[in-house]
Structure 1
Amino acid sequence: MSGLSEKERLGLKKILGFMTTGDLISLSNTVTNKMIVVENVAEAVETILSFSKNAEELLRRKKVQRDLIFKYLAKEGVTMSPNSEKHQLIKRTLELWSSAKANDNVPQQPTASNSRDIKEGFDPLVLGQQFCQWFFQLLNSQNPSLGQQPQEWGPQHFWPDVRLQLAARAAIEQTDELLGAEMVSLRLLALTSAERLFFCPNLEPHGLKALASPHGLVLVGVAGTIHRDSACLGIFEQIFGLIRSPLDKNSWKIKFINLKIKGQDPLAGMEGTAPALSYTSSELQRLCSS
């Protein structure tokens, strides 16, 4: 029998679930040296898990492709650079499974109980990271190609007079401005549910900035890449204006969003580093005071 923990077994089952029947049976033959003949997917999965020495050995198998591990981590809410190599994805996956808090990995919407007040000692960057993890996991969960249970998306996450400015530049430039929680919520939902886009934010220091005004507005700017299935379509920059709602458990709600999407030349390929946020702190400060 294999030495897999329960968390490793559950995680590996999810990754194996992304594979084709042919690849699963081929992998089962490799792992068992063709000593065991399997007749269906369920038998193949159990056989692979039983005959694998450990999780790392199985993840390193050629049939367990890099994209499958990337997709698994995305579904678990773990943000990785789209340029990550397979060994980096394996390392992060093993860390996730070995962590005692693996089941608590899904970030909750920042509220009064889990984010600090705007006062001395408040760090807007901590809120920005926490908010972006929550927001993009929530938005990405609406993408049917990820095959996960959609989380509760809707106008309740926005102020009633929220404003969305959307600028998309590919073959042609397109700009939209929408007002109101219902309209903004539906337009953003369409990006993932209808257009099947997947947003991968860069939460490293060069991809994320945040600052707070004395009047309670917190500005969060983030850059990242946009994907559809295994293809990287381009990059995005998104600025959020957040204000607490005292009537709704003092949780943070979105007051405005500026979203810029830039398609990439398919022949150019991705740069070696994750996208950086082009807005300077002074530009964010001007937005904060406008």
Structure 2
Amino acid sequence: MSGLSEKETEGCKAILNSLSKVELFALKDTVTNRMITVESVKEAVQAIISYSQCAEELLKRKKVHKEIIFTYLADQGVVIPPNAEKHVLVKKALEHWKTPKPIVEVRKPVAEVETDNEVHRERGNAKSCDYQVLGEEFCKWFYRILNSQNPSLELVPQEWGPQHFWEDAKLKFCYSTSEQQSEEYQGAELVSLRLLALVRDELLFFNPNLDANGLKCVSSPHGLVMVAVAGTIHRNTACLGIFEQVFGLIRAAIGNSSWKIKSVNLNITGQNVVEDGEAEHQPLPTLTYQSSELQGFYG
């Protein structure tokens, strides 16, 4: 009877299981018009799924709070401003469920991106990785665990730390408000701690643009992959500015399909504060780096 696809069913079940038992049973009564009797949470979830005409109808129910949808999307690696309206969250969830599963997956909790392709297992191998897909999956993984460290979002913090970086990793951080300033750090511990401080202490939230005009990836003949992404910076209900971030990724081991962060270049440009309600109607920033410029990061 349900009009939900397999992916929609799986996602809606995860969201429904986040409701309290009282809310879940009340929602079951609403959806089934009290015509169905259940004895367990599992039965209640199944009844709600079965008697919902579509996923959108279910997500728009009052008892499916926007905070629950936001937390689900964050767990799925879908990055969205924390103060987005519910209709935006519903739209993002529906889009997420319609998106085919990519060939690249991110392993938790280590910063390792896996692919089913044989990626440069030896020099001259004709098979290659889809680096654009790898970059997109890496960014979903990276910003999900980084944003989860922000206490104002009330998310369960994901495992963050120096284990995701090479020992000699470097961070160059430039930010421009009234004047331009820059900082540089070297070593996995210092790099991971400075990035952590941005979200944990300064309460920043990174909202990357993972569309084709906001994300670009190039690779060197020596196995270094540069992933560049643009996006907006938020704190609480305000959009503070835009950022561009370039990551250098190197495979963790020869013949392995896992990656760790070698370098990070982060540029933040402040702007007049815009409330998130207004920012929702503005397009996400596009990446200004050209592929030839990214190649300059190889060194």
So what's the TM-score if we normalise by structure 2?
0.72
The aligned runs of 1:179-198 (5 Å cut-off) are: 179-198=186-205
- Structure 1, 137-146 or 2-11: larger mean CA deviation: 2-11
Trace 1:258-269 onto structure 2 (pairs within 5 A). Answer: 258-266=265-273
- Residue 157 of structure 1: CA displacement? 1.2
Residue 6 to residue 279, structure 1, CA distance change in 2 (3 Å): closer
User: SS of 1:222's equivalent?
Assistant: strand
Whole-Å Cα distance in 2 between the matches of residues 243 and 274 of structure 1? 28
User: What SS does the aligned partner of 2:296 have?
Assistant: helix
Change (3 A) 1:238 1:48: same
* In structure 1, C-alpha distance between the alignment counterparts of 2:296 and 2:98, rounded to whole Å: 44
1:24: which partner in 2?
Answer: none
- Structure-2 separation of matches of 1:228 and 1:49: 37
Over 3 Å counting, the alpha-carbon distance change for 1:116 and 1:249 in structure 2 is closer
2:25 to 43, 46, 53: 46
**Aligned residues between the structures:** 261
1:120 aligns with 2:126: yes
Contact 2:238 2:274 in 1 (8 A): no
2:12 paired with 1:8: yes
Work out the CA distance in 1 between the residues paired with 2:180 and 2:216: 26
State the percentage of identical aligned residues.
Answer: 50
Q: Give distance in 1, aligned partners of 2:138 and 2:86.
A: 28
CA contact under 8 A between 1:83 and 1:273: conserved in structure 2?
no
8 A Cα contact 1:197 1:226, kept in partner: yes
How has the CA–CA distance of structure 1 residues 225 and 276 changed in structure 2, closer, same or farther, with 3 Å as cutoff? same
Distance in 1 between the 2:80 and 2:118 partners? Answer: 27
Counterparts of 2:263 and 2:169, CA distance in 1: 5
User: Could you report, residue by residue, the CA deviation over 1:242-268 in whole angstroms, capped at 9, with x for unpaired residues?
Assistant: 112228956211111100112220259
Please report the RMSD computed on the Cα atoms of aligned residues, expressed in angstroms.
3.7
Alignment of 1:236 with 2:243, yes or no, is yes
Q: Which residue of 1 aligns with 2:293?
A: 283
| C-alpha separation in 2, matches of 1:11 and 1:92 | 14
Which consecutive residues of structure 1, in runs of 5 or more, have no partner in the other structure? Answer: 17-40
Shift of 1:209: 0.5
Moved more, 120-129 or 76-85: 76-85
CA distance in 1, matches of 2:178, 2:251: 39
Gaps of 5+ in 2: 33-51
The residue correspondences of 1:1-290 to structure 2 (distance < 5 A) are 7-12=11-16, 14=18, 43-44=22-23, 46-52=25-31, 54=52, 56-60=56-60, 69-70=69-70, 72-80=72-80, 87=87, 89-94=89-94, 107-108=106-107, 109-111=111-113, 114=116, 116-118=118-120, 119-122=125-128, 123-246=130-253, 251-266=258-273, 270=279, 272-288=282-298, 290=299
Matched residue type, 2:89: L
Please give the alpha-carbon distance, in whole angstroms, between the structure 1 residues aligned to 2:197 and 2:255: 26
**What TM-score do the two structures reach when normalised by structure 1?**
0.73
The answer on whether the counterparts of 1:164 and 1:177 sit within 8 Å (CA) in structure 2 is yes
Code of the aligned partner of 1:51:
T
CA deviation vs aligned residue, 1:86-124 (integer Å, no higher than 9, x gap)? 5453244246568998xxx98324446656423534232
Distance change >3 Å, CA 7–CA 193, structure 1 → 2:
same
How far apart, CA to CA, are the structure 2 residues paired with 1:58 and 1:250? Answer: 39
Residues 99, 242 of structure 1: alpha-carbon distance in 2 compared, 3 angstrom cutoff: closer
User: Aligned equivalents of 1:171 and 1:139: distance in 2?
Assistant: 26
Give CA-to-partner distance per residue, 1:115-168, whole Å, 9 cap, x none: 642353423212211211221112122222333332221111111111100112
Native 8 Å contact 1:199 1:225 kept in 2: yes
Partner AA of 2:250 in structure 1: I
Greater mean deviation of Cα atoms: 171-180 or 160-169: 171-180
Secondary structure at 1:234's aligned position in 2? strand
Counterparts in 2 of 1:134 and 1:249: CA distance versus 1, 3 Å? same
Shift, 1:70, TM fit: 4.4
